[in-house]
Each structure stands twice: as C-alpha cells, then as structure tokens.
Structure 1
Amino acid sequence: MTTSFEQVQHFLLSGNTADIAKKLLGKKICFETELGMLSAYIVEDEAYIGPKDQAAHAFQGHRTPKNEPLYHEAGTIYIYQMRTQLLLNLITKKVDDPQGVLIRAVQPAEGLSQFRKNRKVQQPFELTSGPGKLMQAFGIPKSLKGTRLNEGSLSLDLEDFKTATHIIQSGRIGVPNKGVWTSEPLRYFVAGNPYVSKMRKRDIEFKTYGWQ
C-alpha cells in the first residue's frame, strides 16, 4: 500500500461528512502488527456532524481532553471507550471543525486467522459485525488515539477497495433521546453484506456479499 497521509486527508476533505461516510464503504483499513498485517473492508459506518448534532461528542462545542482529537485535522484517529469496548472514528474536517465517521463493521481481508485468535466467536460473521467487535478483532489499542492515519500502524488504503452494489441509509444505532438526530439517516451500510451489524439472514447476499 502506498497511500500517504496527504492522500487520505484530501479524500476525507473531499465532501461533507455524510458523503465521506458513504465513500468510505469498501475502503480498506490496515493494521500492522508484530505478527503481520491485518486488513478489512469497511461495510458499515455512521457520520457525526459536530456541534449541531445532539448525538455527537462535540455537541454544542463540548471539548475536553477526552474528545480533543475530534478537533484535530482530517485524518486524525479518534478512539473512545464505551463501557468495556473501544470504538474507532476517523476525523473528516479541518482543525476546530469536530466531525467524524464511526466505523461500525468491517469484512476481514488479510490476517483472518489472527482476527479469530483475537476474538473467539461461534458464528463467523459475528467476528467484526460491530464497532467494539472490530476493534477487538484487530487488536487496535487506545494509545493510537490522536495519531494520524498512514503514519503509523493504522492506515486507510484508498487503492485496494471494493464497490457496493447498493448502499442503504438508516438512523444511527444506540442514540435514543437525541431529538431529530435520533432518526437522522446518517448510518450507511453495504446492502446484503453479512458482516453488517444486525443484518438479517434473509437479507444476506451470500454470493457477492453486496459487492459489484
């Protein structure tokens, strides 16, 4: 992979955050470990639109040491903890415009055996079908919070990607009591992909996994 930070930043700044969330579907996340490369294609994500978004960590300009990376430049990694799980967000705007995309689910590519060692599950599609699940499967540490993509062990590959046959929008998951923002259709996923969270078996495209 030869994608640079500058290329990633240009990509993340190439539209509004909702558009970038859609464009990220099919792009590949790569994590370099001591045991080799782990990679996976993004199949589900959610956009968070900054101070006006009641579901966002930066709602009404909220700014603390915990969410400080939200206010950094596009391409910054924002990892936060929810209960016992770590969640991965990619910052999509310029400095002091705190918007980003939560990566909700991925389809494993390289390093499947290591994914399975990191996260032992009975059902194969449960391996990375949620934001906390994928972080556990990758083994991405919280220490990467505030660092930049493609300058260390965590990268976004813009060259090796897949194209969804159909993208579905819906309200975001787990954001109740946030006014109109609870139902705002800012969740995007690859239709028919079995790794999407809460994907019903009857909706899975087993032949193509939803890719062209």
Structure 2
Amino acid sequence: MADIVLGPVSETFFAQPTLELAKSLLGCLLVKETEAGTASGYIAETEAYIGPGDRAAHSFNNRRTKRTEVMFQKSGLAYTYVMHTHCLINVVSGGPEKPEAALIRALEPVSGINLMKERRQLADQSNLTNGPGKLTKALAIDMSDYGQPLYLPPLFIAEGKTPHSISYGKRIGIDNSGEAKDYPWRFWITGNPFVSRHQQVLGTTQP
C-alpha cells in the first residue's frame, strides 16, 4: 500500500478526561514520518493510567522523576519510556500538573507496511503491530520522540475510522498494583484481529 499523508488532529482533541480519551483514540491513526518513509496504523487498543491515585501509573502518588516529567505537562504530548528493552508510547492527558496518560497497546497497519516488515524483520503482517513494543519498532518510535506534540508532525495522531463497538476489561501486566489491577481501563476495538491479547471482556460500549 502506498504511503499516505494525513493531517493531525487539533490540540483540543486531547482535552478530554483520560478514560474518554483512551476510547476516542481507538480508530484514530498513529502516524510516524521518517526519512525512510511514512508508516501508520489504526489504534486498536489502549489502556488508561490515572495518577496519582492509580497504583499502576508511573505517576502514582505524584511521583515526579526525569522519566515521568512529561506526564505533568499539557495534554497531547508523547510519553515514551523503555521497558524490557522495548520502547512504549503513551499519550499524555489530564492537563498540566495532572499526570495521566493513555498507553497505545496495538495498531492495525495501514500504510508503510513493507517498511514495517523491514523494521520488524517479519513477513507476517498479523504480528507486526499487535503489542506496545511491536508497534513502536514498526513505526520507528523511540526515546527521541519523548515530549513530541502528537498534533504536529513527524509523530502525530490523525482522524481515522469510528469503531463499531468498543470492548473493555482489566489492564495487562500490572499484577503487583493492588486494587488497581482490577480497574476496567483497557479498551479495544471489538473483534479487531490486531489486539495484543484476548482475555475476559467485562463489557462493551458504543463510541
């Protein structure tokens, strides 16, 4: 598929409560422009993190470090961090001094698919971007994107397609976060084949 050029959403798009933003991101395009070309994908899965009362959030208890500093800034910035050698990307939300974010967990590839395959050294498209570390490698998102406004190129969110239905359930990989492990703050496009992991659906909602 040929590369496409899309305009980013406005900065005001990110001025939503974090749980609403995590759902509104579903179906939007995450786009990264590089010298090698443009790659993009529909956001298929997100998780909301609402600090400082969320034990699973990096900003729990208003924890302010070099890593989390961007979470205390305005909404719509990229919060990237490295976990187990993989870079992950979050959308900062909540507004200044309210350190919240939505993790992008999975994408449905749209453009630059051959470039993604080259970066991931994979021929199987179904496995390119179905995980938070996979999608960043496929789109060449790394720590240099920390603090990047996601309403401006080269890394940005663009309008995509509205999901027919959104499923929600517990977040993944946060078993040591007390009661927070049970919060139903993971959202995904119902039935999308690129969701990172299939588990119990606690409910569905319309966008």
Mapped partners of 1:2, 1:151: distance in 2? 9
1:71-110 matched pairs, under 5 angstroms = 71-110=72-111
Unpaired runs of 5+ in structure 2? 1-5, 200-207
Mapped partners of 1:123, 1:170: distance in 2? 27
1:1-212 matched pairs, under 5 angstroms = 1-3=6-8, 7=10, 9-13=11-15, 15-121=16-122, 123-158=124-159, 161-199=160-198
| Matched residues, number | 194
Unpaired runs of 5+ in structure 1? 201-212
In the TM superposition, what whole-angstrom CA distance separates every residue of 1:53-83 from its partner, at most 9, and x where no partner exists?
0000000010011111111111111100001
- Look up the match of 2:203: none
In the TM superposition, what whole-angstrom CA distance separates every residue of 1:164-189 from its partner, at most 9, and x where no partner exists?
12211010000002122101000000
Mapped partners of 2:22, 2:109: distance in 1? 19
SS of the residue 2:107 aligns to: strand
Structure 1's 188 and 141: CA in aligned 2 closer, same or farther, altered over 3 A? Answer: same
Question: What percent of counterpart residues are identical?
Answer: 37
Mapped partners of 1:182, 1:46: distance in 2? 12
Mapped partners of 1:171, 1:89: distance in 2? 18
The AA in structure 1 aligned to 2:167 is I
Instruction: Indicate conservation of the 8 Å contact 2:51/2:100, yes or no.
Output: yes
C-alpha deviation, 1:85, in angstroms: 0.3
Mapped partners of 2:163, 2:150: distance in 1? 23
Instruction: Indicate conservation of the 8 Å contact 2:8/2:152, yes or no.
Output: no
C-alpha deviation, 1:148, in angstroms: 1.3
SS of the residue 2:111 aligns to: coil
C-alpha deviation, 1:119, in angstroms: 0.5
Instruction: Indicate conservation of the 8 Å contact 2:29/2:43, yes or no.
Output: yes
Mapped partners of 1:3, 1:146: distance in 2? 16
Mapped partners of 2:123, 2:33: distance in 1? 26
Q: CA RMSD in A?
A: 1.4
In the TM superposition, what whole-angstrom CA distance separates every residue of 1:5-57 from its partner, at most 9, and x where no partner exists?
xx1x31111x3111110111000011101122111100000000010000000
The AA in structure 2 aligned to 1:186 is W
Relative to the length of structure 2, the TM-score reads 0.89
Mapped partners of 1:177, 1:2: distance in 2? 40
The AA in structure 2 aligned to 1:173 is I
After TM superposition, which residue ranges in structure 1, 4 or more long, deviate above 6 angstroms? none
Instruction: Indicate conservation of the 8 Å contact 2:47/2:104, yes or no.
Output: yes
